Chain A
Amino acid sequence: DQQVKQNSPSLSVQEGRISILNCDYTNSMFDYFLWYKKYPAEGPTFLISISSIKDKNEDGRFTVFLNKSAKHLSLHIVPSQPGDSAVYFCAVTTSGTYKYIFGTGTRLKVLA
Chain B
Amino acid sequence: NAGVTQTPKFRILKIGQSMTLQCTQDMNHNYMYWYRQDPGMGLKLIYYSVGAGITDKGEVPNGYNVSRSTTEDFPLRLELAAPSQTSVYFCASSYPDPRTSGSVTGELFFGEGSRLTVL
> Closest CB of chain B to A95's CB: distance in Å?
4
Task: Categorize the interface residue count of chain B.
Answer: 20 to 34
Q: Does B73 contact A (CB under 8 A)?
A: no
> Closest CB of chain A to B64's CB: distance in Å?
15
| Chain A residues whose C-beta falls within 8 Å of the C-beta of B107 in the assembled complex | 34, 46, 49
> Closest CB of chain B to A74's CB: distance in Å?
17
Q: Does B90 contact A (CB under 8 A)?
A: yes
**CB pair A9 B112 closer than 8 Å:** no
**CB pair A98 B41 closer than 8 Å:** no
**Those of B32-86 within 8 Å (CB) of chain A:** 33, 35, 40-45, 48, 50, 58-59
What is the CA–CA distance of A100 and B48 in the complex, to the nearest angstrom? 10
> Closest CB of chain A to B99's CB: distance in Å?
8
**Known contacts A100-B108, A105-B41; can you find 5 more A-B pairs with CB under 8 A?**
A43-B113, A44-B43, A98-B50, A98-B94, A99-B48
